[in-house]
């Protein structure tokens, strides 16, 4: 059984205020193209299809379009679960008839115990859930995800067909994994992490939740990672999908190419404004600027954004020069102190209009 493993699409997410919808549409098209090129028999999406429980209308339209293309037009089976960012209730709307087109979308705990059988493989689709869901289902005093998963995995294993391969698709933090800055923390002090040994009897565990594919090193347990970079901490991560073959017992990483990369750019202010420099840069990328200048630069961000439209932030590599201390002497008026301060900050003198505003403001204060 050959299938594609992906997760954490987070459709509708914004990156430092920048809309990612167009980038997400293009990366989902790449995933579909890979699925067709590799002639996979299914596509697995391990949770967090949306970024919010109530996604924007545009995000819903985009996801619907891409799933329809994958499942209805290309007739590829899709196996998906809800993640901690999704609303299981909203995602489940219409799911009773999705299975007629081989679109299996599981959004509640009970569904995980009925496997989806494709080829030589049983897929157990276990969506993200809170301990209360297991407590109600099993009627036991379950207080943590670890306690819940012990009961859940035992029940899933009771449905194993020994003649078939067994794949678990789920969306949790597995103990020993490393996280990045763009994930929502769903475990505290390790109490709500899932021990890797609990998942040892599956031929493959397709995980979602952590956005780095190297978050966990394990022979059969794999995070696919997100298809796009969602934080600066992911700048050096390579994003992609996994091609899994349960018959051969192999998995192969296939990289994705984003429309706009996330990069750290270190240079001086003069270099950044030099056409010879910036014409050799991918200026449309998401950039974290590391500025080598120490001096005060007026209107810095607005000037840079005129050339680099997707600046995530700016930091100084060597700090900023301490401003000359301005002291009022007996011979200086408050107006002169303010004018000196303005010049120190902007390297410009007050205009006549600004001087008048300052004089009027100080005069009004003196009259109070």
98 and 236: one domain? yes
For residues 363 and 234, membership in a common domain is answered with: no
Work out the percent of the chain whose per-residue pLDDT is above 90.
Answer: 76
Q: What average pLDDT does this structure show over 236-250? A: 96
The number of folded domains in the chain is: 3
32 occurs within a structural domain: yes
The answer to whether residue 158 is domain-embedded is yes
In this structure, are 266 and 251 located in the same domain?
no
Domain identity same for 139 and 273:
no
Residues 234 and 269 in one domain: no
Residues with Cβ within 8 Å of 131's Cβ and at least 6 positions away in sequence, in order, are 142, 143, 144, 145, 147, 148, 192
Instruction: Identify whether 245 is part of a domain.
Output: yes
Q: How far apart are CA 306 and CA 152, in angstroms?
A: 54
220 and 308 inside one domain: no
pTM score, whole prediction: 0.83
Within a domain: 327:
no
57 found inside a domain? yes
Residues 356 and 268 placed together within one structural domain of the fold:
no
Q: Which CATH number goes with the domain that contains 242? A: 3.60.21.10
Same-domain status, 210 and 348: no
> What residues make up the domain containing 23?
2-255
Residues 85 and 186 in one domain: yes
- Confidence grade of residue 263 (pLDDT, cut at 50, 70, 90): very high
- 323 found inside a domain: no
**pLDDT score recorded for residue 331:** 61
Q: What is the pLDDT of residues 166-197, one digit of tens each?
A: 999 999 999 877 666 655 555 433 447 899 99
Residues 210 and 268 in one domain: no
The reported pLDDT for the residue numbered 190 is 40
pLDDT of residue 133: 96
pLDDT higher at 102 or 327? 102
pLDDT tens for 274-332 read 999 999 999 999 999 999 999 888 889 999 999 999 999 999 998 876 555 555 555 67
Whether residue 243 is found in the same domain as residue 273: no
Domain-terminating residue out of 255, 275, 297: 255
Q: Is residue 172 part of a domain?
A: yes
Q: Is 126's pLDDT higher than 70?
A: yes
pLDDT surpassing 80 at residue 76: yes
**307 domain-assigned:** yes
Average pLDDT over residues 332-352: 74
Q: Does residue 306 share a domain with residue 249?
A: no
């Amino acid at each position: 059984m050959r299938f594609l493993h992906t997760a954490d699409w987070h459709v509708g997410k914004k990156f430092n205020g920048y809309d990612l919808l167009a980038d997400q549409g293009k990366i989902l098209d790449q995933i579909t193209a890979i699925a067709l090129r590799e002639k996979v028999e299914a596509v697995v999406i391990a949770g967090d299809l949306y970024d919010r429980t109530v996604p924007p209308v545009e995000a819903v339209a985009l996801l619907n379009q891409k799933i329809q293309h994958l499942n209805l037009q290309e007739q590829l089976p899709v196996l998906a679960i809800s993640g901690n960012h999704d609303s299981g209730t909203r995602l489940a709307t219409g799911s009773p008839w999705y299975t007629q087109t081989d679109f299996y979308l599981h959004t509640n705990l009970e569904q995980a115990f009925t496997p989806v059988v494709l080829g030589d493989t049983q897929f157990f689709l276990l969506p993200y859930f809170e301990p209360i869901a297991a407590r109600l289902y099993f009627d036991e005093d379950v207080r943590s995800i670890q306690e819940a998963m012990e009961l859940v995995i035992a029940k899933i294993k009771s449905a194993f067909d020994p003649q078939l391969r067994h794949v678990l698709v789920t969306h949790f933090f597995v103990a020993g994994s490393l996280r990045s800055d763009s994930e929502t923390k769903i475990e505290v002090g390790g109490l709500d992490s899932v021990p890797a040994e609990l998942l040892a009897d599956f031929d493959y565990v397709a995980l979602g939740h952590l956005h780095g594919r190297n978050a966990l090193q394990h022979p059969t347990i794999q995070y696919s990672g997100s298809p796009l970079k969602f934080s600066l901490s992911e700048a050096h991560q390579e994003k992609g999908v996994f091609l899994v073959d349960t018959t051969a017992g192999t998995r192969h990483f296939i990289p994705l190419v984003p429309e706009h990369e996330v990069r750290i750019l270190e240079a001086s202010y003069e270099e950044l404004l030099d056409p010879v420099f910036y014409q050799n840069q991918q200026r449309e990328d998401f950039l974290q600027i590391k500025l080598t200048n120490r001096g005060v630069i007026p209107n810095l961000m607005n000037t840079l954004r005129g050339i680099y439209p997707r600046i995530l932030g700016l930091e100084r590599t060597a700090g900023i020069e301490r401003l000359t201390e301005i002291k009022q002497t007996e011979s200086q008026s408050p107006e002169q102190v303010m004018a000196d301060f303005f010049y120190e900050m902007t390297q410009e003198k007050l205009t006549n209009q600004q001087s008048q505003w300052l004089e009027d403001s100080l005069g009004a204060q003196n009259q109070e």
